[in-house]
Structure 1
């Protein structure tokens, strides 16, 4: 992780507003003055409860929702308001892994077709080179090359998420937005996917914006953490500092609500809350 050079991603005073249904001209802030930075090879965990604006912030960085105010720089290039055509080349540098592996893959296309698609644009590769790249990427995410000939419905949830990660990996990006990539998976599979993401980061020097509601996941994968509440960043810093010595009441509330590994202790806590 390189923290001394200029950041790979620099978000400054970003604001996203959504229209209020039935109220002409009225908007509400979904992201309200957010500033954050991510260095090369670094993971920034973005944590907060549902509705805090985490995914909206990620979608703004990806160009999926319009920005009302502020600035997004990727390696010094302003990408805040790029048109669709001008943004297309960014796909090689900026990728995403979504929460639900069941909905993020086209069931009508084989895995090989899905992974090959971004390779057909930009670099001029032969069919043999594309097939070799697809096979190599599948191996790197823990799948065999013959998975390329099968359809997403033939895989388990964890395997589908590996395919989704492979799709993000194929263009050799610099930054990957991970939007709750393990929350739809069983606990044992979650750990496998998290460790895979960490291994890939080491191999390729990837940077991650890791969006989650789970503070324990943040501890496991992140170098730094930003805590989001009602569209604002209320606290950010080194992950150990923030999770061990939180300064904001909301951060302290998130930490106190985090589950514990021992299921008996967790059941006891839930029982105590129910009784109270």
Structure 2
């Protein structure tokens, strides 16, 4: 029987207004979803739909107003900072901008080895060996270890960011628009790398994107978000092949096709 790795129950996230007297902003409204071992759930919607806020709530970067986040059945909604660090061995993230997530003044090897040294108490030699291993897994050369982020292209930096997410051996990775800042040809390479890693390592992904075509390529199931609420959820083939909600149909209609007179929906 497939194990449920992540469950979000009735999640609500509300932010205070920026200025005194402003009305609170409801970013996520009673969202429920789950991710099973080895699968990808795609979260898709326009900018401001709440998809990244859900990912940040799972990561503990924003505090839910209401609801629960369960990881392997345990409630992680309000864990301590120490418990959150320990969760890093099982739960990681890949952000949209790889350059801002890498310290420009430190070598790649130093940055990637740090969590192994802090969390695992690994020796310098063992940490270096594990970093070199994950860099090879993402297709980066051995000399990457001693180089700085500025020496790499955007696609290479995203591969390094993926290696950083892998270094502790997690089972669930939040992918927050991981290819939207890349050229189309590089996007395809990174997406295929993520699929290959999922097959080889048994990873689960919560994959956030505004691009329903990317979601269709990556996901086993999809949840469509509009104004903080899920308007449609189900197997990807069903949702993208026979969408029941007008918003989903609008997202699909916006996907570029070689001949604009030919549409599947």
* Distance of 2:121 and 2:109 partners within structure 1: 18
Partner residue of 1:274?
Answer: none
The reply on whether 1:236 has 2:236 as its aligned counterpart is no
Give the structure-2-normalised TM-score. 0.96
Within the candidate set 207, 210, 219, 1:210 is matched to 207
Unaligned runs of 5+ in 1: 270-276
Within the candidate set 143, 146, 149, 1:146 is matched to 143
Runs in 1 of length 4+ with deviation above 3 angstroms? Answer: 23-26
Within the candidate set 85, 89, 93, 1:88 is matched to 85
Partner residue of 2:252?
Answer: 255
The Cα shift of 1:162 comes to: 0.2
Partner residue of 2:198?
Answer: 201
Mapping of 1:22-33 within 5 angstroms? 22-24=19-21, 26-33=23-30
Within the candidate set 58, 78, 84, 2:55 is matched to 58
The Cα shift of 1:25 comes to: 7.6
Within the candidate set 17, 21, 28, 2:18 is matched to 21
SS in 1 for 2:119: coil
User: Which deviations, in whole Å up to 9, do the C-alpha atoms of 1:95-154 show, x marking residues without a partner?
Assistant: 000001121211011000111011012323222211111111110000012101000000
The reply on whether 1:41 has 2:38 as its aligned counterpart is yes
Task: Decide whether the 8 Å contact of 2:117 with 2:124 is kept in 1.
Answer: no
* Distance of 1:164 and 1:24 partners within structure 2: 40
Partner residue of 1:75?
Answer: 72
The Cα shift of 1:19 comes to: 0.7
* Distance of 1:208 and 1:13 partners within structure 2: 20
Within the candidate set 163, 172, 176, 2:173 is matched to 176
SS in 2 for 1:199: helix
Partner residue of 1:108?
Answer: 105
Within the candidate set 110, 117, 120, 2:117 is matched to 120
The reply on whether 1:136 has 2:144 as its aligned counterpart is no
Aligned-residue RMSD, C-alpha: 1.4
SS in 2 for 1:139: helix
Task: Decide whether the 8 Å contact of 1:12 with 1:36 is kept in 2.
Answer: yes
* Distance of 2:94 and 2:120 partners within structure 1: 23
Task: Decide whether the 8 Å contact of 1:136 with 1:145 is kept in 2.
Answer: no
* Distance of 2:201 and 2:31 partners within structure 1: 28
Task: Decide whether the 8 Å contact of 2:49 with 2:225 is kept in 1.
Answer: yes
The Cα shift of 1:174 comes to: 1.0
Within the candidate set 140, 156, 162, 2:159 is matched to 162
Give aligned pairs, total.
262
User: Which deviations, in whole Å up to 9, do the C-alpha atoms of 1:32-73 show, x marking residues without a partner?
Assistant: 000000000000010000010111111011000111000000
Task: Decide whether the 8 Å contact of 2:93 with 2:173 is kept in 1.
Answer: yes
The Cα shift of 1:78 comes to: 0.4
* Distance of 1:165 and 1:67 partners within structure 2: 27
